[in-house]
Amino acid sequence: MCGITGFVNLQNGFDRAEASQTLDRMCRVITHRGPDDQGVLVTDQVALGMRRLSIIDLAGGHQPIFNEDGTVAVIFNGEIYNYREIKRELEARGHRFRTNSDTETIVHAYEEYGFDCVDHFRGMFAFAIWDERARRLFIARDRVGKKPLYYTLTPQRSLIFGSELKALLEHPEVEREIDYAALDAYLTFGYVPDPLCIFRRVRKLPPGHRLIFANGEIKIEQYWDFDYCPIEGRSEEEWIEELRACLEDAVRVRLIADVPLGAFLSGGVDSSTVVGLMARAGVRPVKTFSIGFNEDSYNELKYARLAAKRFETDHHEFIVTPSICQIVDDLAWHFDEPFADSSAIPTYMVSKMARDYVTVVLSGDGGDELFAGYTRYAVDSRRAVFERLPRPLRRGVMQPVSRFLPHGFWGRNYLYNIALDSLDRYIDNVSVFTALAKEKLYSDDLKARLRQAGADATALFRERAAKMCADDSINRLLYLDSKTYLPGDILVKVDRMSMAVSLEARAPLLDHRLIELVGRIPPELKLKDGKLKYIFKRAVEGIVPPEILHRPKQGFGVPIDEWINAQLREQIRDTLMSSRARQRGYISLSYVQTLLEEHENGRRDHSTRLWALFMLEKWARLFVDGEGDRARASFERFAPVASSG
């Protein structure tokens, strides 16, 4: 696990000494992703750098890694779990390996298969290959989006890329002009979905895509996608047997490591399944890590303890209290872009605790998007009945009435939601600030900027939805979440918070072979008679304790609603109502005042909205006002001196 960064200018080139200094800054600012080593390659036109967290081939995995004659170089962030099989195939074809690392497999696979080398890799990855003979940079990101990749093509024709946005910002050609379409998307969904970035000229390479940079031009291609093509005629038991075997294999291949390994254990079905399969695979005892709260409604420790006892793990726990919110500036620094998922707090703390014992953890991420585990899928299924009402009634009567009703009127939001078509209804369901709320929240200036740019946060969702091949409602929603919420929120949260403490997190439930299998399972076996994750739970019967298997769904959240009204009350009010927030001109502070008063008085739970606004202001102070420069200096005190490569 590493962090990669670099830049290429094939037309104008650059001063080698200046390029080396710039690259060193770009590497050092992501030292947390790889504290063990730094490697660089600098020529007159190419600068590649990486920070390494040593996991496999501790002695021989120094990057960049080259092919036999030194004309192809790779820097790599991630893990290739089937690298040994690929290595044997390539050696049989005449390739000569110098190391036992999975990174070198990428170089030779590229030589053998070209851009299609990505089709052969099973794992999580973001890598960059410089091909000296072809004068070409090749970048690829894994199928699901576990590993991040930012890039920009500057007016000076430099392609600049990196695992984190902060690495790009160290390059003098990268500008910090806010992309208001991305800001709109953030306030709508609580995260900035790919390919958008909060800064206008920067983009994120989407999952399952590759980028080729040659002759000063960028070409982006998609090489993989979620495919929902259910197969009929197989029995439920046949699906269960194949699914269980695939789950066991997905966990087994992720146990490869030359360093200590453990697992996150929340007490839910997904993480309990992963830990149970680790124990079955012979990991004894599994080191497990759990987070709890003093607030009973959010505390899952009793279920985590039950699973830990069942699987005889070496179990560790940490209680999160409101005082932990003092780390909010650190969180904003690590996310680079505004990010509103408050479960980042326990994710950071459980990662920090785990890092004291292990270097690699397995997690249960992805199970809800893969097997239909969110309660909103059942809610959407129930509300679909209103689509039978004539559209003129819904659009011409119900929607205008809902808009006319005053803010806070009982049933206003529900009436608006059920009057929408299916896709709009789901977008409304997953929004932090709905279309109704944004009419009040946005300042006139922001509304004008968005109209001028033709920006619409829902356009990205509509674009994703247009690519769905599924003809049933459940698989359509699973596809949409797997292309938006999963890579934009869940995987960003886990990557940034684990990497903040130099911990590698692996997600076996997002193995692409498992995903392809689940895409063939009929949707009625995923959500059956209102039962979420039906086929998944059937497959893990006998592995996961029944008390966990049949418990109600509980999200991995924090009691932020209570904290905002108590320990965080003054901090959030002072931040959101400050003159600095007012001067930004994004939002109506009178509406924010209304949200604060309603939440403080207990009339409405606005915790998600207030936290989103709070994190936006925290981000702006770091990355717009320049406070991040001081934060960077603090983090860099611990960065080792760069090595040359």
Residue 57 has pLDDT above 70, yes or no: no
Domain closes at, from 499, 515, 549: 549
Q: Are 269 and 131 members of one domain?
A: no
- 625 in a domain, yes or no? yes
Residues 629 and 539 in one domain: no
Q: Is 77 helix (H, G, I), strand (E, B) or coil?
A: strand
Do residues 75 and 185 share a domain? yes
Are 311 and 275 in contact by the 8 Å Cβ rule? The answer is yes
Whether 424 has a binding-site annotation, put simply, is no
**Residue at which a domain ends, from 196, 222, 248:** 222
Distance, CA of 375 to CA of 413 (rounded, Å) = 18
Asked whether residue 354 is domain-assigned, the answer is yes
Q: Does some domain include residue 393?
A: yes
Out of 2, 197, 246, 325, which one is annotated catalytic? Answer: 2
* Residue 285 and residue 175 share a domain: no
- Looking at the structure, do residues 527 and 617 belong to the same domain, yes or no? no
Token pair belonging to 564? 């905002």
At 292, which CATH number?
3.40.50.620
Domain that holds residue 598: 560-636
The answer to the question of residue 380 being in a domain is no
Q: Which amino acid is at 49?
A: G
Is the pLDDT reported for residue 482 higher than 50? yes
What tens digit of pLDDT does each residue of 161-208 get?
999 999 999 999 999 999 999 999 999 999 999 999 999 999 999 999
How does DSSP assign 156-225, residue by residue?
Answer: T--EEEESSHHHHTTSTT----B-HHHHHHHHHHSS--TT--SBTTEEEPPTTEEEEEETTEEEEEE---
543, 569: one domain: no
Residues 168 and 62 grouped into a single domain: yes
> For the whole model, what pTM was predicted?
0.93
- Determine whether 27 is an active site residue: no
Count the domains in the chain: 4
C-alpha 134: how far from chain center: 33
291 is in an annotated binding site: yes
Same domain (yes/no): 171, 50: yes
Residues 576, 529, single domain; the answer is: no
The answer to whether 363 is annotated as binding is: yes
Q: How confident is the model at residue 295 (pLDDT cuts 50, 70, 90)?
A: low
Q: Is 102 annotated as a binding residue?
A: yes
Please give the average per-residue pLDDT across 265-276, as a whole number.
Answer: 95
459 and 514 housed in the same domain: no
What's the CATH code of the domain at 196?
A: 3.60.20.10
- Kindly report whether the peptide bond that precedes residue 64 is cis, defined as omega within 30 degrees of 0: yes
> Do 265 and 398 belong together in one domain?
no
HEC readout, 557-617: CCCHHHHHCCCCHHHHHHHHCCHHHHHHCCECHHHHHHHHHHHHCCCCCCHHHHHHHHHHH
pLDDT tens for residues 200-247? 999 999 999 999 999 999 999 999 999 998 898 899 999 999 999 999
Final residue of a structural domain among 222, 246, 266 = 222
Burial class (CB in 10 A: 0-12, 13-18, 19+), 5: buried
Q: Is residue 641, in this structure, part of any structural domain at all?
A: no
pLDDT in tens, 425-439: 888 889 999 988 999
Please check whether residues 540 and 566 belong to one and the same domain.
Answer: no
Residue 554 lies in a domain: no
